[in-house]
A and B are shown apart, each in its own frame.
Chain A
Amino acid sequence: MKSGLLAAAAAAMVIGAVSGAQAGATLDAVKAKGFVQCGVNTGLAGFSNPDSSGNWSGLDADYCRAVAVALFNDPTKVKFTPLSAQQRFPAIQSGEVDMLSRNTTATLTRDTSVGLNFAPVTFYDGQGFMVSNKLGVKSAKELNGATVCVQSGTTTELNLADYFRANNMSYNPVVIESQDEVNAAFFAGRCDVLTTDASGLAGVRASVAPNPADYTILPEIISKEPLAPAVRHGDEQWYDIVKWVVYATIDAEEKGITSKNLDQFLNSQNPDVQRLLGTSAGMGKALGLDEKWAYNVIKTMGNYGEIFERNVGANTPLKLARGVNALWTNGGLQYAQPLR
């Protein structure tokens, strides 16, 4: 009897878990509670950081808002859960957050054993090197014997070791826990080379370096860090929504549609544009959303280029160039699958 009860309880839990992950369940649950619970970084400049009055800003935070706009046509219908690197996967697996938009690199193990589905990449990053011009180095291949400032406990540190070993070079690591202190150590001359993600290097050079012109970012990029929003396995409809919200912003940029000129396109005869803006029906219904979902996202949040420029672009303190994050038509990697 007792074991029977236990088995029943276990079965109920399994059923509960399965029904929790049923297709459409997340969308219904999110609609019922009226907001998207979005996991973000506890603080990463330009991607998700609270401003002086405590509002979240940044590229990752804006993609949380974009999903909220697609669902509710209201960018405030989102609650942010700041997550540390260790917490992020349990938080998405346990359902504490509905989506993860936390500068997370898409990898095979995260896609499989961690149980995530990755939406399209919102930021292509990769590890690079910055040196002082005084060193006279033009390539990372000339860094044999250099002293390298690096943050501890990150893939950055591992990539660095791999790269130097693969090229039969030696180096002296200066390992520090906080990235800010790593940067300070580099500019104080404690090491020859600073290594972190290329986006970070550009930002540091622009905002922390005493004189940005004195420093060069070497051309070698030694790792691939495609950062993408993610949802948990098991709810395909919710995954589709997050995925196509990202594609819609990229697609809009490809078509030259911005938050400013959006309404001029409402009369467009181009069937692609009509499908995107919902003037010809079908796309919204397929996702289980309002037909105006993409229109609302672009109107409120802007296209991919606008989101990029607003948070990390040339006019922000980070001063990042589009680089590989330019559209494929401009020699970058951003490419939207056709919205049809």
Chain B
Amino acid sequence: MTDNVHSAAGAPDERPPSSSVGLLGWLRGNLFNTWYNALLTVLIIGGLMRVIPPLLDWLIFSAHGFGAQATECRVPDSGACWGFVGDKLRFIMFGTFPYDQQWRPLVTIAIFIALLLASCDRRFWKPWLALLWAAGLAAVSVLMWGGVFGLTYVENALWGGLPLTLILSVIGLAVAFPAAILLALGRRSDMPAIRVISVTYIELIRGVPLISLLFMASVMFPLFLPTGVTIDKLLRAQVAFIMFAAAYMAEAIRGGLQAIPKGQYEAGDALGLSYWQNMRKVVLPQALAIAIPPLVNTFISFFKDTSLVIIIGLYDLLGTAKAALTDPAWRGFYREAYLFIGLIYWAFCFFMSKYSQKLERDLNRSHRR
């Protein structure tokens, strides 16, 4: 013991060789530790050198600002024309909604984001959250349709842009989710009729592409109606989305249900819980927690799938960007347009995936080993 103290005091630690600490050491340890890693590092740095400077040049240094006109951008060797986004921003975000009323869809976007953020916080997971949603959706419909409180009426054929994307995906998912739970339970039910109906529905919907459902809803369906009777185009698309999402989410939830050990069901039964109590208090909380990754996967792909409504003439975010590109004065700036809306889609999807990771960690604590 004393020997140790003595030697520690007598011979101070030597610094490690300078080649194994600091930046140089890190470089040696991680990038140049073997000859093939060194080669790869050199190649990748070379590639980045070729890509990054021209990209930055296009994005920033040679680019024209948000106030630029199309004619200023059409000079040789000029970079991005952010003037396109500047000029078309309101059209891309809100579509053909009446121009002087566009604060209404803006508030709608804010309400949706606030509702989503509130729903993400587990402290808000109380029965009154449903009331909050009802109030939020009522506010959204008043804002979008108007016709009351002195707001002019705006028919939903004029809705477009980000509010339309949010309405289609958020309402679609919110309605489809409970339906999906019922379908998943129905598929595992002991009652033959319910099981057959659930299986038929799920397999039928999953067996056709979303685009054909949208076509059926928007193109075939009106032909079966008497002349003059039309059901709103947006409603038809929304219903098609709900049907589609419900079938896919039902399968994700069924996966969760199957992962619950039989003992859990039997334990619930042994406690004398009814079927619904058993599901609500014992099985579903565990099953849904397990099903989070596939569910979020469905959410994300579904959010992006809303852009398919372009084929039935609804202007979602992608549709407005495409329509903005057809302005004769602004043709050809599609890189800027797609980059801009890509950023918006990415922000939403990235948030969803990050949040789901957090939720997974929180809810699956018991499963951690």
Query: Across the interface, do B315 and A82 meet the contact criterion of CB distance under 8 Å?
Result: yes
Query: Across the interface, do B228 and A43 meet the contact criterion of CB distance under 8 Å?
Result: no
Query: Across the interface, do B228 and A95 meet the contact criterion of CB distance under 8 Å?
Result: yes
Q: Does B58 have its Cβ within 8 Å of any Cβ on chain A? A: no
B209-224: contact bitstring with A at CB < 8 Å (1 yes, 0 no)?
A: 0000001001110110
Q: Does A318 have its Cβ within 8 Å of any Cβ on chain B? A: yes
Q: How far is the CA of A13 from the CA of B322 in the complex (A)?
A: 40
Residue from B220, B228, B313, B327 within 8 A of A52 (CB atoms): B327
Query: Across the interface, do B328 and A207 meet the contact criterion of CB distance under 8 Å?
Result: yes
Query: Across the interface, do B315 and A45 meet the contact criterion of CB distance under 8 Å?
Result: no
Could you list 26 A-B pairs, sorted by A, with CB under 8 Å? A16-B226, A42-B313, A43-B325, A44-B326, A50-B324, A50-B327, A51-B91, A51-B327, A54-B94, A54-B96, A81-B157, A82-B313, A87-B219, A95-B227, A96-B230, A180-B325, A183-B332, A184-B334, A204-B331, A207-B74, A207-B328, A207-B331, A207-B332, A210-B76, A211-B76, A317-B328
Closest to B226 in A: A16
B320-339: contact bitstring with A at CB < 8 Å (1 yes, 0 no)?
A: 00111111110110100000
Query: Across the interface, do A208 and B332 meet the contact criterion of CB distance under 8 Å?
Result: yes
Query: Across the interface, do B226 and A20 meet the contact criterion of CB distance under 8 Å?
Result: yes
Q: Which residues of B contact A110 (CB under 8 A)?
A: none
Q: Which residues of A contact B319 (CB under 8 A)?
A: 42
Q: Does A280 have its Cβ within 8 Å of any Cβ on chain B? A: no
Q: Does A94 have its Cβ within 8 Å of any Cβ on chain B? A: yes
Q: Which residues of A contact B227 (CB under 8 A)?
A: 16-17, 20-21, 94-95
Q: How far is the CA of A195 from the CA of B313 in the complex (A)?
A: 26
Closest to A85 in B: B311
Q: How far is the CA of A21 from the CA of B227 in the complex (A)?
A: 8
Q: Restricting to B65-90, which residues have a CB under 8 Å from any CB of A?
A: 70, 74, 76, 87-88, 90
A8-25: contact bitstring with B at CB < 8 Å (1 yes, 0 no)?
A: 000001001100110000
Please report A residues at the B interface, Cβ cutoff 8 Å.
13, 16-17, 20-21, 29, 42-46, 49-56, 79, 81-84, 86-87, 90-91, 93-96, 178, 180-181, 183-184, 203-204, 207-208, 210-211, 316-318
Closest to B97 in A: A54
Most B-side CB within 10 Å, residue of A29, A46, A93, A94: A94
Q: Does B310 have its Cβ within 8 Å of any Cβ on chain A? A: yes
Q: How far is the CA of A181 from the CA of B331 in the complex (A)?
A: 11
5 further A-B contacts with Cβ under 8 Å, apart from A50-B327, A53-B90, A55-B99, are A54-B99, A82-B313, A204-B331, A208-B331, A317-B331
Closest to B322 in A: A43
- Give the secondary structure class of B's interface: helix
Q: Does B163 have its Cβ within 8 Å of any Cβ on chain A? A: no
Q: Which residues of B contact A53 (CB under 8 A)?
A: 90-91, 99
Q: Which residues of B contact A208 (CB under 8 A)?
A: 331-332
Query: Across the interface, do A94 and B222 meet the contact criterion of CB distance under 8 Å?
Result: yes
Q: Which residues of B contact A17 (CB under 8 A)?
A: 226-227
Q: Does B172 have its Cβ within 8 Å of any Cβ on chain A? A: no
Query: Across the interface, do A46 and B328 meet the contact criterion of CB distance under 8 Å?
Result: yes
Q: Does B256 have its Cβ within 8 Å of any Cβ on chain A? A: no
Q: Which residues of A contact B95 (CB under 8 A)?
A: 50, 54
Query: Across the interface, do A42 and B322 meet the contact criterion of CB distance under 8 Å?
Result: yes
Q: Does B312 have its Cβ within 8 Å of any Cβ on chain A? A: yes
CB distance from B320 to the nearest CB of A (A): 8
Q: Does B98 have its Cβ within 8 Å of any Cβ on chain A? A: yes
Query: Across the interface, do B222 and A90 meet the contact criterion of CB distance under 8 Å?
Result: yes
Residue from A52, A91, A183 within 8 A of B88 (CB atoms): A52
B221-242: contact bitstring with A at CB < 8 Å (1 yes, 0 no)?
A: 0110111101001000000000
Q: Which residues of B contact A86 (CB under 8 A)?
A: 215, 219, 311
Q: How far is the CA of A55 from the CA of B97 in the complex (A)?
A: 9
Q: How far is the CA of A53 from the CA of B98 in the complex (A)?
A: 8
User: With A17-B226, A81-B313 in contact, do A50 and B323 touch (Cβ < 8 Å)?
Assistant: yes
Query: Across the interface, do A84 and B312 meet the contact criterion of CB distance under 8 Å?
Result: yes
Closest to B98 in A: A54
Most B-side CB within 10 Å, residue of A13, A44, A180, A318: A180
User: With A20-B228, A95-B227 in contact, do A184 and B332 touch (Cβ < 8 Å)?
Assistant: yes
B290-324: contact bitstring with A at CB < 8 Å (1 yes, 0 no)?
A: 00000000000000000000111101000100111
Q: Which residues of A contact B225 (CB under 8 A)?
A: 94
Query: Across the interface, do A84 and B310 meet the contact criterion of CB distance under 8 Å?
Result: yes
Q: How far is the CA of A117 from the CA of B98 in the complex (A)?
A: 33
Q: How far is the CA of A3 from the CA of B133 in the complex (A)?
A: 48
Q: Restricting to B28-78, which residues have a CB under 8 Å from any CB of A?
A: 70, 74, 76
Q: Which residues of B contact A94 (CB under 8 A)?
A: 222-223, 225, 227, 230
Residue from A49, A90, A183 within 8 A of B323 (CB atoms): A49
Complex A-B, nearest 4 residue pairs according to Cβ-Cβ distance, in ascending order: A20-B227, A43-B326, A94-B222, A43-B323
Q: Which residues of A contact B312 (CB under 8 A)?
A: 84, 87
CB distance from B285 to the nearest CB of A (A): 44
Q: Which residues of A contact B328 (CB under 8 A)?
A: 45-46, 49, 203, 207, 316-318
Q: How far is the CA of A54 from the CA of B324 in the complex (A)?
A: 9
Q: Restricting to B142-163, which residues have a CB under 8 Å from any CB of A?
A: 155, 157-158
Q: Which residues of B contact A203 (CB under 8 A)?
A: 328, 331
Query: Across the interface, do A50 and B310 meet the contact criterion of CB distance under 8 Å?
Result: no
Q: How far is the CA of A317 from the CA of B328 in the complex (A)?
A: 6
